[in-house]
Amino acid sequence: MPTRILLEGRPGAGKTTALRRLAALLPTHAATGFTTEEIRRSGVRVGFALETLAGRREVLAHVDLPGPPRVGKYGVDPGVMERLALPSLRPAATEEARRLVLIDELGRMELACTAFRHAVDALFVAEVDVVATVHTHRDPFTDALKQRADIEVVQLTPANRDVLPGELAVRLQQPRTHGRPPSHG
């Protein structure tokens, strides 16, 4: 059975940092996916950039973008989701490599893209491991994911954010035998 984890945390808890540390602890090219990062001007947040684990980066949302859609004061560029995020969600299907997708995050800006929501739905039923960060506020899409029995919700807090990436990296690199736990005996 694939590993499916939602890292849930409040804004500023360190979700992006934890996901980036997890990616850095894995073998090169072991995972695909993307992270997001604040864009600051004179110390003030003015937007967000999306960067794939392969290094492609574009502005996802910015106060100067007109939208629609708009999330708070930010105009969102759905084309960034289609050009960068969606292709990054397609895991490599090699026999030897464990297929793992990292997503930062399942938030309002990202979920404004319908094709992204569909791709996430497909990932969570595919034979791939998924670790995604998610906000704590209520949202019908993420609330439904959090309720699924096959998805583990892990709370990310200042107390565990430094050790959690290492623990997850070890867990995700454990061998598995075609979806069944190894037999002991």
Does this model's pTM top 0.85? yes
pLDDT for residue 8 is more than 90: yes
For the chain, the structural domain boundaries read: 4-172
Q: C-alpha distances in angstroms, 98 versus 19, 51, 124, 149?
A: 17, 22, 16, 22
Dump pLDDT digits (tens) for 25-55.
Answer: 988 778 899 999 999 999 999 999 999 999 9
- What class, spelled out in words, does domain 4-172 have in CATH? alpha beta
Q: What is the pLDDT of residue 1?
A: 84
Residue % of the chain over a pLDDT of 90: 66
Calpha distance 55→90 (Å, rounded)? 15
Dump pLDDT digits (tens) for 124-147.
Answer: 988 889 999 998 889 999 999 999
